[in-house]
Amino acid sequence: MRSVLPGKPRAKLQAICTADWDGLRLVLYITGSAVVILSGPHKLLQTIYHDEHSLLDAVTIDEATGKIAICCSNDVIIYKPFGRKEGVLRWSFESSFQIPGSCDAALTLSWGSEEELLVGSSSLRLYQTARENIDIWNRRLPKPVRIASFSYDASLIASTGLHDRLVKLWRRQSFGSSDTRFDFTYLPHPTAVTALHWRRPHKHEHLVDNVLFTVCADSKVRIWAAKDPHALQVLQLWGQIDMQEAIQPRGPGLFSSVKERYAFFLDSKDLTTGTEQTFKFASERHNQGDHALEHLTEVFKTSPEVCVVLDRRGNMSAWGLESVGCKTRKNNDKFNIAHVENVNLSFPTGLLPEEANVQFLAFCSPDSASPFNLLVHHFDGRIIWYESKLDEVLDPCPRPRRLHTKASWTGHDGIIKKIIRSASGKALISRTVDNQCLIWKQGHDRSELALVRSSSLNCPEHIHRSCLLEEGDIVINLHHHSVTLWDARSVSAKQVASCTFESKGKPLCLLQLPHGDVGTRCLFVATITSKMEAIVWKVEPSEKFGEKSNGTERAIMSEFCTSDLGLSDDLAFVLPVDPAGSITPASDFLDTFRKDLAIAYTNDGLLRAWTARVDLENTSVNWLVTSTIETDIDMPSLASGSSIRKIALVDTARTGLTIWDPWSSQLEFDTKYEPLDTIQDLDWSSTPDDQSLLAVGFPYKIVVLAQIRYDYMNVGPSWAPVREISIKELTSHPIGDSTWLGSGNLAVGAGNQLYVYDKAVDTSDDMVSDLSLPRHEHRSLNILDLVTYLNGPLPVFHPQFLAQCLLAGKVICGHQIIINLYKALRFFTPGDELDSFVSLSTTDFFTEQEEFSYAAKKEMQSSYADFVKDDDPETVTEELAASLNESLTKIAIPQLSSLEQIHLADIVECVATVEKHRRSMDENAMRYLLFFRQYMLRKGQTPNPQVGATWREIIWAYHSNSQDILLDLVSRQFHGRMLWSQARESGVFMWMTDLTALRGHFETIARNEYTKTDEKNPTDCSLYYLALRKKSVLLGLWRMAAWNREQAGTQKLLRNDFSDPRWKTAALKNAYALLGKRRFEYAAAFFLLADRLQDAVNVCAHQMGDLQLAVAVARVYEGDESAVLRALLKEKVLPQAATEGNRWMATWAFWMLGRRDMAVGALISPVHTLVPSSEQPSRHSKSYLSNDPALSVLYKQLRTQIPRGCVSPRKEWDFVIQNARVYDRMGCDLLALGLVRNWEFLEQPLGQGGGVNGTTENLEETRRGMSALEVSDTASAEGEGEEKGMSGGGKAKPTQFKEPEASSLLDSFGF
């Protein structure tokens, strides 16, 4: 935690206390109805809340037992500590009691010996709290007591009343007796006594003479001690210090009018502790010759008590009191230690008399380089903790700065309801439920004060919304029917202007409007109502608000204009966006590139983002909808947007969170929290380079989510939690609100307290352990640096960049990256810097490469291998890959995590494997083999690997002309014993296009399934042989299965002719019986035996959940023109692709159906827009994962195979720009540049609506043409529909390689 603002301390003499209990320095103070317990400037231990409707009056702590007593009216409550040894120190309720008398309110508390508690009110009462809070002594007083305090040995009590010039000194006559008695004497003073202080003994068990210090309204400090034990009075006047004379002006006429004097005391015990610590750390610094240390040595020789006198101008006079209480006095027993200036303690001006009082507590802490601590309690609602070295404080020589501010404890005394930040985050305003506001300014990063209270604002009218302008100097408050302007440049804000308004709707938000006119200082704020009406006000700031012109007050706020935004149907809420990103001047253009200002959401989950431009010439404001997102979230309960286009939406149960990207209207994050974790707040922030952070607020914790790179290879999340902040240990109040500061700190309001959490993130935390962060380089990071690291451009040797580079067809670059990395690591030692580009030029990544020259170079190198000797490798060989991977196991690369290095080693090995077969396969086969091999390597490395090759890999193989070679390499991967589970992993029956080879390999699967066990069970292969229509082979296998108890019955059944309806019925009965026994695969086999392909396919697709098996059985049984297969594609595959948003699956299904135009359209359009379905597409279909940038590679291949004009240039333009954004979000900026630089738009035919403004009429016609794909009731009708409706037919069979002609080569390169 950076700092804590525990709340506004009460203006009471006993509102604060401190004690050294069990070696722990504790500071307690009361704020409102709570007592705050701290052990350091920023170390909050606990906040104990009393009845929130009652204010506390006093607090005290027993140094012997650690018990805390507080009083509220006539109630006294006692808390006891526990968990000290366990390291979880807390205080819990022990007991409470009431003071007799309905009007007798407790004013002061003091602990005595053996857990005795003195309560002062209109009487003095002594309670024994060790047993049952027994009243063991009481004495009625003529006037209520103001101060009553036990001496440290509990033998004396000093008390005085309000405006009382007499101090009553009560002497105890007996200890431990049931009859407790006190007698008293008076210590007379000329004027009212304002403060009392008992000298602290070195140890509690030591018998010491009691010494009492009193401060009087006559500006004198009096010291009372037992000089004469035979005198009538217990204590006699030992000496006095005139505070007016102690601080005198150094020149004529200087501060003669400043009469206020303050005093505090540093007991000999604390002086000893502070001096010992000062000398200890001075010896470590080897500065023994310091004059300040020599002076401190002289002061310490006599172990005096120290009295320090201060004034408001920063003057300080320190006095030493030697041998206080001795019977014989010396001439120099009161001596001046120092008289210095520039002791600035932040005394405010312009306060009310009751707020001008100041109280001091001084002590010295052991084991601290700066042992001297001073707590200054300002009665205007602040406690400031100062710290310093004792020699610096008492140094008589001039010093620029003697005290260092460690903390400023202040805040509210009511429950915080809302926190609003300024646009830059350098100021914020916090508001309580009773409309009390505090304006805060952000402190410097190196300052101990993260937030500094700037002004307070008390508004008698209910505040609906607030807005900060001019970095907190101006506050605009929105009320139900008016708006007010406040000047917050002083300690107390003042209202300087007000405007009333009338509106049909309820005002929902208040936001600042930017304008591009640099010649005016005018500011504009607007409210948007529930009827989508915008009311804009103009604010004219000046040096002096409300200045008069010609005798009348100048209008500084006026209504500028009103406008109707429309689109108010079913509106749920409108709210301003959180300012994020770098602050840039507003442009004069109103377009979608302007930063968002507000978002609106409807009850059916429709999100809209708005921006605006102020038109000064026409006295109007123009509004523009920058994005619209259909989230399909009904009745959202909460939303929040950032000005850099991120929107978070919470569902109606407040447990589901989604994050959307308005640029592409896609879903980036979707999660569900526990039912008890209800989301109540969302706050956006960003790094300087516009990477987003989201703080998700729950009742007692905040989870910080960070944007991370897109990962399409591992299907990783694009947002991840990086920090969790819990306040349960600090307070019992739930979080009221939170907001980000411009520095990256997070301010959290709970109860009446503000907590400011710093930016540091521990990378060893479990929460960030899975973020691929190289721990050997970053052990502790600033959260802004962490997010930048997780989103910045990747080094070119990062496995994600390398994979995308190879997918994009930049094979030469991929090889060169690996080769250069191999060279760099040969001489790499820990601590060296590794070039992120490994000596490659950036132009290599966005310049078109000539693959044929590369192949020719390989051929030439092979031909002249005997004549040319070259140590530099040209390609990635298996030997080079093995050597590089060995280096990767030994060397920690600074830019990569250990997991990323493992993935890099995998992809290097895969590239070497593919390179070995490169001459015999095309690029698509290479892409498939590369990532299938990578999948097989990772299969045994990760605990939850993906299940098989993805549809992306399947599509590469499907569009390859090297399928025979690919099938052979895949079979070798499984040692020639491929089972169905392995065939499903490789997707082989999805991408094989040659039906003869398909059936041949299916028969191989059948044999392998039969022989996979030693017993060779025919049931394992029944489905496969019956799909191949080889019942006779299956019958032969059953003849050899004598061990199987089902042999006889199955053999008898299989011998029959299943073209006979009787035996078809028998097979169906067996199939349904097997379904009842949940033997689904065997049931599907019997459906095939009855020639019921549709039922068999349904069992595979639904009961078994194996879509690939259903497709394979249909293809093998009836071929690619099967009506059952086509129905499966249209009724199962395409709806599933639309629901999941899987464009790869959709394009495969369309291509299988012969609809190549729609197959290409599915690559660039959301699938649910192409597939008519009664089901609503799932939220997952709008995920960013559906926009794989590799789609652009496939689209570029296939677009030439459809009639030109099916896809409009505008659609293609948006597709390319979207993929460039995705590359950028992945950290592959160079690939994004290469994409937009080298993309060529095909020339549109005449009459097709060329240009970027072309329409999508042809694609819409194609979508409407889906009716031609509807499944007919009969197979014949289906076949006729296919002949009439299909164009292009199925995929052509692979052919042998044919040398391309020169003209076709030129055409491939766009000439």
**pLDDT tens across 376-416, in order?**
999 999 999 999 999 999 999 988 888 999 999 999 988 99
Check pLDDT > 60 for residue 791: yes
The per-residue pLDDT for 288 is 55
The per-residue pLDDT for 1284 is 32
Check pLDDT > 60 for residue 255: no
Question: CA 156, CA 171: separation in Å to the nearest integer?
Answer: 5
Can you tell me the mean pLDDT for 1005-1027? 92
Q: Is 956 exposed, middle or buried (0-12, 13-18, 19+ CB in 10 A)?
A: buried
Can you tell me the mean pLDDT for 1170-1177? 73
Check pLDDT > 80 for residue 1220: yes
Which tokens is 884 given? Answer: 């590089």
Which has the minimum average pLDDT: 60-74, 110-124, 276-290? 276-290
Contact 1008, 1001 (CB under 8 A): no
Strand partners, 693: 685, 706
Check pLDDT > 90 for residue 353: no
The per-residue pLDDT for 328 is 66
Of 129-138, 331-340, 1119-1128, where does the model show the most confidence? 1119-1128
The per-residue pLDDT for 545 is 57
Question: CA 1222, CA 1184: separation in Å to the nearest integer?
Answer: 9
Residue with tokens 């103009």: 538
Contact 937, 907 (CB under 8 A): no
| Residues contacting 607, CB < 8 A, separation 6+ | 599, 600, 601, 627, 628, 629, 630, 631, 639, 647, 649, 660, 662
pLDDT tens, position by position, 1222-1271 = 999 999 999 999 999 999 888 766 555 443 334 444 444 444 444 444 43
What does the DSSP assignment read for 750-815?
Answer: ETTEEEEE-SEEETTSGGGTTS---TTT-SEEEHHHHHHHHHSPPPTTSHHHHHHHHHTT-HHHHH
| Residues contacting 618, CB < 8 A, separation 6+ | none
In three-state secondary structure terms, 592 is coil
Which has the minimum average pLDDT: 490-504, 515-529, 1064-1078? 515-529
Contact 1181, 1145 (CB under 8 A): no
Question: CA 143, CA 851: separation in Å to the nearest integer?
Answer: 102
The per-residue pLDDT for 868 is 41
| Residue 564, number of CB atoms within 10 A of its CB | 11
Check pLDDT > 70 for residue 448: yes
Contact 414, 406 (CB under 8 A): no
Q: How confident is the model at residue 1057 (pLDDT cuts 50, 70, 90)?
A: confident
Q: What are the backbone dihedrals phi and psi of residue 142, each rounded to the nearest 5 degrees, phi first? A: -70, -25
Question: CA 1090, CA 1084: separation in Å to the nearest integer?
Answer: 10
In three-state secondary structure terms, 745 is coil
C-alpha distances (whole Å) from 569 to each of 506, 535, 566, 579, 633 are 15, 19, 8, 27, 16
The per-residue pLDDT for 858 is 46
Check pLDDT > 80 for residue 1187: yes
Can you tell me the mean pLDDT for 482-507? 91
Can you tell me the mean pLDDT for 1157-1185? 84
Which has the minimum average pLDDT: 163-177, 396-410, 940-954? 940-954
Question: CA 370, CA 273: separation in Å to the nearest integer?
Answer: 11
Check pLDDT > 50 for residue 1299: no
Reported in sequence order, the residue ranges of 154-290 that DSSP labels E, i.e. its strands, are: 156-161, 166-172, 182-188, 193-198, 211-216, 220-225, 236-242, 262-266
Check pLDDT > 70 for residue 546: no
Question: CA 716, CA 1185: separation in Å to the nearest integer?
Answer: 9
Question: CA 1018, CA 1007: separation in Å to the nearest integer?
Answer: 10
The per-residue pLDDT for 1245 is 65
Residue with tokens 């024994």: 128
Q: What is the dihedral of CA 1296, 1300, 1304, 1305, to 10 degrees?
A: 120
The per-residue pLDDT for 1247 is 53
Q: Which residue has the higher pLDDT, 1186 or 1290?
A: 1186
* Percent of the chain whose pLDDT exceeds 70: 87
Which tokens is 413 given? Answer: 């005394």
Contact 223, 210 (CB under 8 A): no
| Residue 1124, number of CB atoms within 10 A of its CB | 23
C-alpha distances (whole Å) from 275 to each of 24, 27, 65, 398, 1293 are 19, 22, 28, 20, 94
Between helix 1209-1225 and helix 1229-1238 the angle, nearest 10°, is 160
Q: What is the 3-state secondary structure (H, E, C) of 802-827?
A: HHHHHHCCCHHHHHHHHHHHHHHHHC
Question: CA 213, CA 136: separation in Å to the nearest integer?
Answer: 28
Contact 344, 384 (CB under 8 A): no
Which tokens is 427 given? Answer: 């100021």
The per-residue pLDDT for 1120 is 93
In three-state secondary structure terms, 520 is coil
Q: Where are the alpha helices (DSSP H) in 137-267?
A: 243-246
Can you tell me the mean pLDDT for 1143-1171? 92
DSSP state of 444: P
The per-residue pLDDT for 179 is 81
Check pLDDT > 60 for residue 952: yes
Question: CA 785, CA 851: separation in Å to the nearest integer?
Answer: 40
Q: Radius of gyration over alpha carbons of the chain, in Å?
A: 41
Q: Give the chain's end-to-end CA distance (angstroms, integer).
A: 63
Check pLDDT > 70 for residue 1309: no
In three-state secondary structure terms, 1183 is strand
Contact 572, 631 (CB under 8 A): no
Can you tell me the mean pLDDT for 794-809? 93
DSSP state of 988: H
Check pLDDT > 70 for residue 1161: yes
The per-residue pLDDT for 256 is 52
**pTM of the full structure:** 0.85
Q: What is the mean pLDDT of the chain?
A: 85
Quick one: which H or E segment has residue 887? Answer: helix 878-890
**CA atoms within 13 A of residue 61's CA, in its CB half-sphere:** 24
| Residue 1060, number of CB atoms within 10 A of its CB | 10
Q: How confident is the model at residue 1156 (pLDDT cuts 50, 70, 90)?
A: very high
Which tokens is 1297 given? Answer: 């390689």
Report the length, in residues, of the chain: 1311
The per-residue pLDDT for 1305 is 33
Q: What is the dihedral of CA 1228, 1229, 1234, 1237, to 10 degrees?
A: 150
Residue with tokens 């896809």: 1207
Can you tell me the mean pLDDT for 1108-1129? 95
